[in-house]
Structure 1
Amino acid sequence: MCGGSICVLAAVFALSLVFIFLRDGKKSQRKSKLPPGSMGWPYIGETLQLYSLDPNVFFATKQKRYGEIFKTHILGCPCVMLAGPEAAKFVLVSQAHLFKPTYPKSKERLIGPSALFFHQGKYHTQLRKLVQASLSPEVIRNMVADVEAVMISTLDSWVGGHVINTFHEMKKLSFEVGILAIFGHLENHYREKLKNNYHMVDRGYNSFPSIIPGTPYRRALLARRDLSKIISGIIADRKEKGIFGKNLLGHLLDSKDENGETLTDEQIADNIIGVLFAAQDTTASVMTWILKYLHDNPKILEGVKAEQNTIHRSNDEGFQPLSWSQTRRMPISHRVVLEALRMASIISFTFREAVADVEYKGYLIPKGWKVMPLFRNMHHNPEFFSDPEKFDPSRFEVTPKPYTFMPFGSGAHACPGNELAKLELLTLIHHVVTKFRWEVIGSKNGVQYSPFPVPLHGLPARFWKLPS
């Protein structure tokens, strides 16, 4: 009898263990489930939907249906998209070590594998310090006069009533500012060679990555090879003359790691081209949007004019140069810049890749999957920005909630050139509103993606100089 009871108790105990195991297993499965969403067609996933729709509509529709975390499959990769500030902080800051920066290999080949934003760890830290040092406020404040000279020369070339493609002209302008930040004053023959070859690389950067002779991507690869040779020539010239300077090239040439090793010419070239890519299209896009938003909002334009005309008069009606301290005292214009960055959201999202299986809010993000914090969704979320489709710089009289506004990213991979970009934008505003009037030609609405969002057709416009 006693032995039978023991057997029964043993059986009950064993069954209990099985039940607990199965129950815990189910809990584990529940904890490890993939986020909701659709993976689309085999291999191509939902890439066609992304590129056939306005990306804003694609992402917003997904978020409305599935919530702030959802899965999809685009550009040949399974992805988890995150549309909330907590998630952005998780990926970019608090658990950034679990997510490495990633780019398609075709684009990495054109920029260069040693560029800092492809890396983590010691190498990334070393390079980021160098880039930040070359773009610090202490260095940039000495660039104001040169940036202003580029701005005045560019704007004067638009005068005469002929129609310009504003975005294309802004790309030329931001390229020249990028050259200043990287090389300082550069000889004309080097500048022209860099410009011609960089333009070829830029044209092929977003093309289909075919290595067939004659294709844009193939031509871009050849131009990229020539860029390395040109930069090596500049490096040799600077070393021979002993000219390093406080610009990016000077910092890269003067750098040594913990073992006393210097950077190779190829590493320097990759990082120079990476900075050019990071600086040109994004800044040009924002400058183009600023001109559109000011054109479309006359009352806001009048407030900006009043602020900038006060500075203009204090500078002897423009005969004295703009100063660094003056660019720090433009509150209305600064809010216009912030609102343009929010509205346009030039960087709609950023790519990361999970380096291990990661659990977030009960969902599994598998190792190797791409992870995309969606900045645009946060910037246009009415919970964080009331009436988000209205251009309203006054909203920035109050600081946004943390991680709801990230035009320059966040964390260790945030854009190190944000101070230079702001200087460029504020210098543009100062000169364009105090010296020019402009008219947008054709449709005043519409957006095109190339791949960054820009006004339709690059914002065709005419410019006239105001009477002195």
Structure 2
Amino acid sequence: MELIIFFFLALAASLVLLSSLFLLKFLSFAKPKLPLPPGTMGWPYIGETFQLYSQNPNTFFSSKVKKYGSIFKTHILGCPCVMTSSPEAAKLVLVSKAHLFKPTFPASKERMLGKQAIFFHQGDYHAKLRKLVLRAFMPESIKNIVSDIESLAVGSLESWEGKLITTFQEMKTYAFNVALLSIFGKDEVLYREDLKRCYYILEKGYNSMPINLPGTLFNKAMKARKELAQILAKILSLRRQMKKNQTDLLGSFMGDVEGLTDEQIADNIIGVIFAARDTTASVLTWILKYLAENPTVLKAVTEEQESIMKSKVEEGLKWEDTKKMPITTRVIQETLRVASVLSFTFREAVEDVEFNGYLIPKGWKVLPLFRNIHHSPDNFPDPEKFDPSRLLQSPIHSCHSGTGRIHVQGMSWRSWRSWFFYTI
């Protein structure tokens, strides 16, 4: 009798357990799944990459926003993506829920820059690199190269006298020279032309499809990347033979007490050049354009700079002079807003994330669209107008001063190089 009772109790318990499991499974299937944002994914693997780069990328983004709203899906550079164009979404991705979205780049950029570059990491390694970069670009370090930057700017202007120039290309050369000076100090002179040659080939492959076949941009870029690493190894060897402490970025990396490997140093030097060169050159070019189109603003900037120049007599520029340039500063900031040279940034969802009733799947890239935010009349009245005076008031939403923990210092770097160029 006891055996029969035990059998029925065990059977009943099993039935209850199975029923509970079935109910939970049913509820999980019955629970409505969040939809993906609206949009199209294009062709397999290629996605809509050709549509993006066959026209002005900002035209591509604007047409998508107009059709689908402030959040939509697409597929570019081999990655499924969710793009957002609202300040709220940008804040979610870059600030309030930043731990759910890790910094990332397309596979082509990661392979070219190097997997040890700061852009691709979080946690202790990222924090250490950020500290080393900040140390090299604090005012105390920058003060040591002010006269050298001034010489580069003067030399550039003198070389253009009486010539018709392609502004953006000349700005890229200037920005690259300043970047090399900031990273290597005077050591870069011996290898400047080789560094330029390799980097110019490398940058052509940044936005290419990662197809490593002979003759492709990606293949040529990877070969240049290998040669660039060899040049950097020579510079590292030369610096070690000198046994002298330097305050430039290379010195900061090499002086780390915990020690960075040569590969880590090379990856991060290439990464810093990548982050600084084209964006800086673009800002400088747009500033020239906007000043030429706005004579009243040009007059105000000129008067501000001439006032500083008269107070210097025969003395050269100093870091402290940048604090006396409020009008110039607003011109730079308004240029960053209107031109929006950094149209978007890449993040990757580390888990499924819900936003505004949509699902952002784990592993998908998320791209806040800064240009669309900066050009929204909801955020800036008459957004297409270049008006530095608007910055006398606090802007409603602005993303050009950084995209989270990585790009804030980059913004400072772009600003002080712009200052030095326009005070000459």
Cα distance in 2 for residues equivalent to 1:51 and 1:241: 46
Which residue of structure 2 lines up, in the alignment, with residue 309 of structure 1? 306
Measured in 1, the distance between the counterparts of 2:220 and 2:51 equals 29
Aligned-residue sequence identity (percent) comes to: 53
Give yes or no for contact 2:46–2:78 (8 Å, CA) kept in 1: yes
**Corresponding residue pairs, total:** 403
Secondary structure (helix, strand or coil) at the match of 2:111 reads helix
* Cα pair 2:114 2:267 within 8 Å, conserved: yes
Encode CA deviations 1:273-300: one digit per residue, 9 max, x unaligned.
1101111111001101111111111111
- 2:78–2:106: 8 Å Cα contact kept in structure 1? no
Structure that is richer in helix per residue? 2
Does structure 1 residue 174 correspond to structure 2 residue 169? no
Q: Return closer, same or farther for 1:344/1:93 CA change in 2, 3 Å cut-off.
A: same
Distance in 2 separating the partners of 1:95 and 1:372: 14
Moved more, 321-330 or 277-286: 321-330
Supply the AA of the counterpart residue of 1:74: I
Name the counterpart of 1:270: 267
CA displacement at 1:214 relative to structure 2: 4.1
Q: CA deviation at 1:359?
A: 1.3
- Preserved CA contact (<8 Å) 1:140 1:420: no
Segments of structure 2 that go 5 or more residues without pairing to the other structure are 1-21
Alignment of 1:119-130 (within 5 A): 119-130=121-132
User: In the TM superposition, what is the alpha-carbon distance from 1:23 to its structure 2 partner?
Assistant: 9.1
In the alignment, which residue of structure 1 is the partner of 2:32?
A: 29
How far residue 61 of structure 1 moved from its aligned partner, in angstroms, is 2.6
Candidates 279, 287, 292, aligned match of 2:284 = 287
Paired with 2:78 and 2:210, the residues of 1 have a C-alpha distance of 14
Q: Is the 8 A contact 2:108 2:208 kept in 1?
A: no
Partner Cα separation in structure 2 for residue 187 and residue 45 of structure 1: 41
Does the Cα contact within 8 Å between 1:201 and 1:219 map onto a contact in 2?
yes
Work out whether 1:300 is the aligned partner of 2:297: yes
Contact 2:42 2:48 in 1 (8 A): yes
Which AA in structure 2 matches 1:426? W
Contact residue 358 and residue 366 of structure 1 kept, 8 A: yes
Structural RMSD (CA) = 2.2
Q: Check conservation: 1:137, 1:419, Cα contact below 8 A.
A: no
AA of the residue aligned to 1:186: D
Q: Secondary structure at the match of 2:423?
A: helix
1:219 maps to which residue?
A: 220
Contact map agreement 2:108 2:207 (CA 8 A) in 1: no
Equivalent position of 2:96 in the other structure: 94
1:208 and 1:274 mapped to 2: Cα distance? Answer: 19
Match of 2:398 in 1: 405
1:64 to 2:61 alignment: no
Give the match's secondary structure for 1:78. strand
1:304 shift after superposition: 1.1
- TM-score for both structures, normalised by structure 1: 0.81
* Aligned pair partner of 2:87 in 82, 85, 88: 85
Partner of 2:337: 342
Query: Unaligned regions of 5+ residues in structure 1, if any?
Result: 1-17, 432-468
Whether contact under 8 Å (1:49, 1:58) holds in the other structure is yes
3-state SS of paired residue (1:338) = helix
Alignment of 1:53-452 (within 5 A): 53-160=55-162, 162-186=163-187, 188-257=189-258, 262-316=259-313, 319-401=314-396, 404-431=397-424
Output the amino acid matched with 2:316.
P
Displacement of 1:345 = 0.5
SS at match of 2:187: coil
Change (3 A) 1:193 1:55: closer
Q: How far is 1:25 from its partner? A: 6.8
Q: 1:72 aligns to what SS in structure 2?
A: strand
Cα–Cα, structure 1 residues 40 and 229, in superposed 2: closer, same or farther, change >3 Å? closer
In structure 1, give the amino acid aligned to 2:237.
Answer: A
What is the aligned partner in structure 2 of residue 456 from structure 1?
none
Cα distance in structure 2, aligned partners of 1:25 and 1:102: 33
Q: 1:320 to 1:113 in 2, by over 3 A?
A: same
- Matched residue SS, 2:36: coil
- Whichever residue aligns with residue 29 of structure 1, its letter is P
> Match for 2:87: what amino acid?
P
* Separation in 2, partners of 1:51, 1:215: 17
1-side partners of 2:303 and 2:310: how far apart? Answer: 11
